[in-house]
Amino acid sequence: MEQQNHFKQLLLQLNQQRAKGYLCDVIIVVENALFRAHKNVLAASSVYFKSLVPHDNLINLDTEMVSPSVFRQVLDFIYTGRLSSSDSVSEHSVSSLLTAASYLQLTELAALCRRKLKHNGQTPSSSDKLTTSTSPTPNGHTPGPLRLSSTPLIATPNHQHHNNHSGSRKGNLRNQRWGQEGRLREDLSEEEVFISGSRCASLSPSGGIRVNGLALGLDLSKRSPSGSTATEEVSPSSLPQSSSPHSSSVSPTPPTTAEPRENQRQPPNTSTDLLPRAPCKRPRPHREDTNLGETGKALSKGLVKKPGAPGHEKLVRRDRVTSELEDGEVNGEENGQDQSEESGHSGSEGGGGKRNGNTNYIYRQPQPGFEPGVGDNLYVCIPCGKGFPSSEQLNAHVDTHTQDEIYLEEEEEEEEGGGYQKDEDPDADPNVYASRGLEPGADEPRHCCTVCSKSCKDAVSLREHEKSHWLNRPFPCNICGKLFTQRGTMTRHMRSHLGLKPFACEECGMRFTRQYRLAEHMRVHSGEKPYECQLCGGKFTQQRNLLSHLKMHTSPP
């Protein structure tokens, strides 16, 4: 007895889930594009991926071997066994596919491409030599859509270290891994992790950041030793171990010779058994320490502590002045939080943002009807949330954004909505006045710049003036679009997205993005409390807590 079309239906379901990001547990970074997928599917299709996915939730691919557009075809092929119509698969793209397939050790796809090239009278490029052997597929070459053989994938891993192909790249990360101690190797370079220098420079006049990828609820920031988020919902087996961060932005070493044959018969649910059962779409807003056993309080805190996910653009619209000039976090951080956790608890990440900062970028609600990550619209415009099937189309679209356009829309919305947000009643919160350049009780709003206090005659003038401040934040985050005044700050911010925490506590395994924080943390273990309140003698491990404490002394009861 056999259920007909079972495999087809199963694959169909998986592909639909991928499109929706449902249960996706791995992110593949190709240049500046992010792709979500299922580890099991990747592992079942590629020996290369099989070697990576158990350890990493974030995989960077060598852009010299595979481009975003090619990888998109590769991923489509993995999930469907088909390539798009042969008409649209040019010889050049077949060649690129072959290179990518070889690099990724997708032997079936490589063989398919090779046959396609042969059929077209082409000689496979040298790149396909990466694949030392492939198993022939029975269905041969046929015109029309290329189809995956129905035979099981036979893994015939070669022993070449494909990563070496990227070795020529400066500061190459891809061969680097977290060491035994769980420390990121010293020579990691943010730029390498991060995709983008090119896109970084392509900040559009509108301030729109080109992020050719799926923000789509990906929470790149949640990556401390464990977690409860989409990207963190990983197998417990890979949890904590202070030395085993879940995602590395590097491409680990390729499959070793030791495991080849296993690849053919991996139990289909080997890893899914270890995955959390709950859908990863809506991570809980609170810590979930309970599953961590006695790993240690401090550790557990770090493990599940939260957020900041660029992704579903659920955002709280704020007054333009507030959001752009006063609250640097709303756009990138708080927003991300909302996006990832929906519950709306404002995240600690947004913490620093309430102060000042002339952050400028405005996230927009996704356009009606746009469902991030669904279907072919894998490339998402951060500003408007619109999805596009290709990076080229996205880039073209982003160029159409202008700051004025955003302003116009803002204006329209202000007119429609009366300007204030319901939760931003100036009467209730004097800070709102400040942020808007207004003063409580003033009938006529003063159009003051919140950055330099310059007074403008009207709102339009103020906006024009405010633009000048934006230039002071020339460093955009390629993931969330937030702008920074200094490159170093942006780099540090990106580190939080990727969860790169090079500084590990030897006592409990907690990891930190900053050495200073590790030093601070170590006082927890040493019991050192160097900060003493001169008023009451209270001692604190953190200076900031002493300051907070002092406020308690000084503030009226």
What is the smallest separation between the CB atom of 446 and DNA, expressed in angstroms? 22
Q: Which is nearer to DNA, 136 or 352 (CB)?
A: 352
Among 118, 161, 185, 514, binds DNA (CB under 7 A): 514
Q: Distance (Å, rounded) from C-alpha 418 to C-alpha 395?
A: 33
Footprint (CB under 7 A) of DNA, residues 340-359? 345-357, 359
Write the binding mask 197 to 226 for DNA: x where contact by CB under 7 A, - elsewhere.
------------------------x--x--
Size of the site for DNA (CB under 7 A): 70
Other CB atoms within 10 Å distance of the CB of residue 389 = 14
Termini Cα distance of the chain? 77
Footprint (CB under 7 A) of DNA, residues 283-322? 285-287, 289, 298, 301-302, 305-306, 308
- For DNA, which stretch binds (CB under 7 A), given 88-96, 380-388, 409-417, 544-552? 544-552
Q: Which residue do the tokens 């990493």 mark?
A: 56
Footprint (CB under 7 A) of DNA, residues 437-466? none
Bridge partners, residue 30, by sequence: 33, 61
Residue closest to 386 by CA, chosen among 359, 403, 412, 363: 363
What is the smallest separation between the CB atom of 518 and DNA, expressed in angstroms? 9
Tell me the DSSP string of 49-102. HHHHTTT-SEEEE-TTT--HHHHHHHHHHHHHSB-S-TTTS-HHHHHHHHHHHH
Decide if residue 421 touches DNA (CB under 7 A): no
Decide if residue 247 touches DNA (CB under 7 A): no
Quick one: how far is CA 491 from the chain centroid?
14
- In three-state secondary structure terms, 153 is coil
Q: Distance (Å, rounded) from C-alpha 506 to C-alpha 319?
A: 45
Q: Distance (Å, rounded) from C-alpha 536 to C-alpha 345?
A: 34
Decide if residue 485 touches DNA (CB under 7 A): yes
Decide if residue 99 touches DNA (CB under 7 A): no
Of how many residues is the chain composed? 557
Among 167, 430, 516, 530, binds DNA (CB under 7 A): 516
Decide if residue 196 touches DNA (CB under 7 A): no
Decide if residue 481 touches DNA (CB under 7 A): no
The encoded tokens of residue 79 equal 């999930």
Decide if residue 324 touches DNA (CB under 7 A): no
Among 177, 446, 454, 517, binds DNA (CB under 7 A): 517
Decide if residue 541 touches DNA (CB under 7 A): yes
Decide if residue 521 touches DNA (CB under 7 A): yes
The encoded tokens of residue 322 equal 């507030």
**Where is 552: in which H helix or E strand?**
helix 543-554
Q: Which amino acid is at 383?
A: P
Contacting residues toward DNA, per CB under 7 A: 189-190, 221, 224, 285-287, 289, 298, 301-302, 305-306, 308, 328-329, 332-333, 345-357, 359, 473, 482, 484-489, 491-493, 496, 510, 512-517, 519-521, 523-524, 529, 536, 538-545, 547-549, 552
